[in-house]
């Protein structure tokens, strides 16, 4: 709009004399342009004003400029507001209200009163044995799964980016589990860990390994890790493949010429260059494992005896099964804060180790 | 000699992938067996192929209705997410003032909030909207779609924002000079350019919405409104012991996913790689 209009400089007093001063105001031009032009031409002081030529010639144009700006704002609102409205009602408002709910005691019945209890909910949850246990399970589960998923995913990625002719087929097959939702995967593996394992145990006589894993607390947690790894490894593989394929060929070639073996090139050249992929993959696996619910719900249901109840499920049970709406929400806020802290810590930690080419 | 080693490598790779998909084999094999055959040997292939259990599972899970519901929720949610998020992201990039920057930061920052932190207050807000404005936000597919749009907004805006930043403005300016208004500029010029990102978002959201369990389970309570994960969960609540029937049901829920995968494999793998959040 302004880019094509010519500018001229006029004496302010002259303008005043002509009765133009109302339109000679800088406000007809965006401040940014005026300031930059002033800088460019070293225009300062009060005497000289900058204004579009057209503004001197006619009275109507400043009005159209104003209209244009108004219509720009209307377009902006038309494009942005619908989504912002939905987003606000679905995410922002519930999040803010949720903070409020965490300070009250309420059983979820609309007619029953909500009593303000201050920080009591937060004090209580740190001495809540079941909640702290679930936090411990979540930590153990996340640590082991993140490690396993990334190691296996990276190993897959390295082996299907080599010379294999079947690499495309292999990629597709390894990725398949990710597409099937956690809930359905959990049910499939539930059958495997209970009945199929027992039947394998009976057939082979390896009863000390093949028994119903879901009945034993430690093995049930291991079962969760197996399923999560099975689901996520293929997904993480895809991200690593992307990283490996964008590695600069010449650097690796140079390392080979200098006499680096496969492992040397892998650990000293490829891995440092893959750091951005590590950042992404660790972030994705860490946040996914921390928030895991579906597999927990369908595979173990938190059992046996709450031994595999993760934080997400503990919150769900507290709110919707035990009807402790305020207390459960306080847990949910603590959950949010711990997810945020842990993932941000991880990101800043791995970001520091990224190398520039 | 080298060739032989290569061949062995290829065979080993495929063999490993088949072992990786072993759980799916278990599902397929056992869905054809009757109860007695199943407990004889769960690893062996079925001796006879009867589709009886598929029919029973389909009837008990009310799968055709659930499939329709899932399809409707997924397609409409994604359509709305793509339309609204691309428009929003475009405006945020092209008017990069303080308001836009703040909004963008809020969109991105909220991605880290776990669903469990929002779910209870969300149900209260939706219940309030239903009671005061008499809009069917709870127990309706429309309400579920509305919430999916809200939850999908952040990531879609984020991905579009990143892409639009790399699209030059000159094309849009030319169109404006030729007399297009913003609406036309966006839909005729910008949106077609965004296609790769649109595909990415569609793929990621299909995987998410189709498999989502927790949100629909809180929103929908009518039997007729159940999506596939919901009907699977309620089916397992009732018939856990009949594993052959359960396997048939699970296989039926997996088949559409696999078909979708086979049809759009290239896009899915590309989309998932591109959608990995760039930090």
Which of B13, B87, B236 is facing A166, going by the closest CB pair?
A: B13
User: Per the CB < 8 Å rule, is B121 touching A95?
Assistant: yes
Residues in chain B with CB shorter than 8 Å from the CB of A201 are none
Extents of the domains making up chain A: 1-59, 125-352
Residues near A121 by Cβ (< 8 Å), separated by ≥ 6? A102, A103, A105, A326, A327, A329, A330
Q: Average pLDDT, stretch A79-91? A: 94
For residue A214, pLDDT over 60 is answered with yes
For residue A160, pLDDT over 70 is answered with yes
Residue-level pLDDT at A301: 86
Q: Comparing C-alpha atoms, which of B38, B36, B56 is closest to residue B46?
A: B38
Write out the H or E segment, with its range, that includes residue A52: strand A48-52
Two tokens, residue B93: 């990039």
Distance from CA of B195 to the nearest CA of A (A): 19
Residues in chain A with CB shorter than 8 Å from the CB of B230 are none
User: Per the CB < 8 Å rule, is B14 touching A170?
Assistant: yes
Return the residue of B nearest to A97 by Cα. B121
Residues in chain B with CB shorter than 8 Å from the CB of A167 are 13
Which of A187, A311, A340 is facing B112, going by the closest CB pair?
A: A340
Q: What is the DSSP letter of A27?
A: G
Return the residue of B nearest to A152 by Cα. B20
Sign of CA dihedral B154, B159, B160, B164: positive
Residue-level pLDDT at A52: 46
User: Per the CB < 8 Å rule, is A89 touching B150?
Assistant: yes
B7 touches chain A (CB under 8 A): no
Residue-level pLDDT at B239: 64
Q: Evaluate the omega torsion of the peptide bond into residue A304 and state whether it is cis, within 30 degrees of 0.
A: yes
Which of B88, B117, B118 is facing A79, going by the closest CB pair?
A: B88
Residues near A120 by Cβ (< 8 Å), separated by ≥ 6? A105
**H helices within A109-181, ranges in order?**
120-126, 129-159, 167-179
Residue-level pLDDT at A62: 58
User: Per the CB < 8 Å rule, is B85 touching A94?
Assistant: no
Residue-level pLDDT at A356: 66
The pLDDT confidence band at residue A115, using thresholds 50, 70 and 90, is: confident
Distance from CA of A94 to the nearest CA of B (A): 5
> Residue A189, SS3?
helix
Residue-level pLDDT at A39: 45
Distance from CA of A47 to the nearest CA of B (A): 30
For residue A244, pLDDT over 80 is answered with yes
CB atoms within 10 A of CB B52: 13
Write out the H or E segment, with its range, that includes residue A9: strand A7-11
Mean pLDDT (chain A, rounded): 81
Two tokens, residue A334: 């603590």
For residue A60, pLDDT over 60 is answered with no
Compute the residue count for chain A.
357
User: Per the CB < 8 Å rule, is B120 touching A332?
Assistant: yes
The pLDDT confidence band at residue A66, using thresholds 50, 70 and 90, is: low
Distance from CA of A13 to the nearest CA of B (A): 34
User: Per the CB < 8 Å rule, is A238 touching B27?
Assistant: no
Q: Comparing C-alpha atoms, which of A288, A290, A280 is closest to residue A347?
A: A280
Residues in chain B with CB shorter than 8 Å from the CB of A284 are 276-277
For residue A80, pLDDT over 90 is answered with yes
Q: Which is more confidently placed, A18 or A126? A: A126
Residue-level pLDDT at B79: 96
Q: What are phi and psi of A8, to 5 degrees?
A: -135, 160
Alpha carbon distance A271, A263 (integer Å): 10
Residues in chain B with CB shorter than 8 Å from the CB of A166 are 10, 13-14
B205 touches chain A (CB under 8 A): no
The residues pairing with A9 across neighbouring beta strands, listed in sequence order, are: A50
List the single range of A194-203, A207-216, B236-245 with lowest mean pLDDT.
B236-245
Residue of B116, B252, B260 to mutate, testing the A interface (most A Cβ within 10 Å of its Cβ)? B116
Residue-level pLDDT at A31: 46
Distance from CA of A284 to the nearest CA of B (A): 8
User: Per the CB < 8 Å rule, is B213 touching A336?
Assistant: no
User: Per the CB < 8 Å rule, is A173 touching B21?
Assistant: yes
Alpha carbon distance B235, B229 (integer Å): 10
Angle of CA points A200, A204, A207, to nearest 5°: 75
Looking only at the bridges linking them, the beta strands covering A48-52 and A104-105 are unpaired
Residues in chain B with CB shorter than 8 Å from the CB of A170 are 13-14, 17
Residues of chain B with pLDDT under 50: none
Does the domain formed by A125-352 have CATH 1.10.3720.10?
yes
A and B: number of Cβ contacts within 8 A: 253
Return the residue of A nearest to B250 by Cα. A184
The tens digit of pLDDT for each residue in A310-341 reads 999 999 999 999 888 999 999 999 999 999 99
> Residue A48, SS3?
strand
Distance from CA of B193 to the nearest CA of A (A): 18
For residue A86, pLDDT over 90 is answered with yes
Q: Average pLDDT, stretch A240-251? A: 88
User: Per the CB < 8 Å rule, is A90 touching B85?
Assistant: no
Write out the H or E segment, with its range, that includes residue A261: none
B151 touches chain A (CB under 8 A): yes
The pLDDT confidence band at residue A8, using thresholds 50, 70 and 90, is: very low
User: Per the CB < 8 Å rule, is B214 touching A294?
Assistant: yes
């Amino acid at each position: 709009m302004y880019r094509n209009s010519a500018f001229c400089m006029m004496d302010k007093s002259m303008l005043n004399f002509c009765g133009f001063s109302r339109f000679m105001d800088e406000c007809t031009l965006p401040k940014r342009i005026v300031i930059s032009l002033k800088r460019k031409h070293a225009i300062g002081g009060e005497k000289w004003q900058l204004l579009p030529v057209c503004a001197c010639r006619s009275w109507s144009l400043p009005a159209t400029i104003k209209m244009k700006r108004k219509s720009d704002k209307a377009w902006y609102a038309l494009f942005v507001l619908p989504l912002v409205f939905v987003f606000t009602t679905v995410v922002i408002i519930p999040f803010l209200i949720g903070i409020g709910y965490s300070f009250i005691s309420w059983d979820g019945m609309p007619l029953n009163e909500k009593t303000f209890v201050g920080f009591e909910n937060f004090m209580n949850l740190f001495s809540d044995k079941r909640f702290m246990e679930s936090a411990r399970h979540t930590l153990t589960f996340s640590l082991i799964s993140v490690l396993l998923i990334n190691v296996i995913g990276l190993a897959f990625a390295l082996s299907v980016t080599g010379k294999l002719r079947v690499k495309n087929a292999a990629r597709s097959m390894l990725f398949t589990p990710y597409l099937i939702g956690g809930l359905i995967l959990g049910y499939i593996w539930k059958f495997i860990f209970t009945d199929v394992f027992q039947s394998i145990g009976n057939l082979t006589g390896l009863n000390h390994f093949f028994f119903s894993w879901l009945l034993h607390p430690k093995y049930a947690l291991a079962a969760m890790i197996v399923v999560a790894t099975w689901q996520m490894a293929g997904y993480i593989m895809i991200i690593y493949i992307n990283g490996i394929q964008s590695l600069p060929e010449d650097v690796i070639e140079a390392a080979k010429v200098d006499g680096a073996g496969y492992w040397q090139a892998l650990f000293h050249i490829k891995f440092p260059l893959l750091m951005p992929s590590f950042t992404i993959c660790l972030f994705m696996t860490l946040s996914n494992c921390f928030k895991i619910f579906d597999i927990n719900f369908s595979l173990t249901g938190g059992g046996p005896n709450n031994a595999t109840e993760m934080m997400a499920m503990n919150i769900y049970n507290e709110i919707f099964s035990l009807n402790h709406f305020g207390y459960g929400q306080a847990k949910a806020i603590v959950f949010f804060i711990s997810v945020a802290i842990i993932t941000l810590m991880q990101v800043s930690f791995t970001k520091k180790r990224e190398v520039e080419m | 000699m080298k060739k032989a080693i290569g061949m062995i490598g290829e065979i080993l790779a495929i063999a490993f992938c088949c072992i990786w998909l072993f759980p799916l084999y278990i599902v397929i094999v056992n869905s054809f067996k009757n109860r007695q055959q199943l407990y004889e040997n769960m690893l062996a292939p079925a001796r006879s192929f009867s589709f009886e259990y598929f029919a029973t599972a389909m009837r008990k899970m009310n799968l055709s209705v659930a499939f329709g519901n899932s399809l409707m929720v997924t397609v409409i949610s994604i359509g709305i997410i793509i339309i609204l998020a691309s428009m929003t992201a475009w405006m945020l990039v092209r008017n990069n003032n303080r308001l836009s920057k703040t909004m963008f930061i809020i969109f991105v920052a909220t991605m880290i909030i776990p669903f469990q932190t929002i779910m209870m207050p969300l149900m209260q807000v939706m219940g309030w909207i239903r009671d005061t404005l008499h809009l069917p936000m709870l127990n309706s597919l429309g309400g579920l779609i509305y919430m999916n749009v809200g939850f999908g907004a952040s990531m879609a805006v984020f991905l579009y924002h990143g892409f639009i930043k790399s699209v030059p403005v000159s094309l849009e300016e030319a169109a404006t000079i030729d007399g297009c208004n913003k609406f036309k500029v966006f839909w005729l010029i910008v949106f077609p350019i965004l296609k790769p990102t649109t595909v990415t978002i569609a793929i990621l959201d299909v995987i998410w919405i189709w498999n989502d369990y927790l949100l629909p389970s809180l929103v929908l309570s009518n039997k007729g409104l159940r999506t596939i994960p919901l009907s699977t969960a309620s089916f397992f609540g009732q018939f856990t012991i009949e594993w052959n029937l359960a396997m048939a049901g699970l296989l039926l829920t997996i088949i559409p996913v696999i078909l979708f995968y086979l049809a759009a494999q290239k896009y899915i793998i590309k989309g998932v790689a591109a959608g990995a959040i760039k930090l």
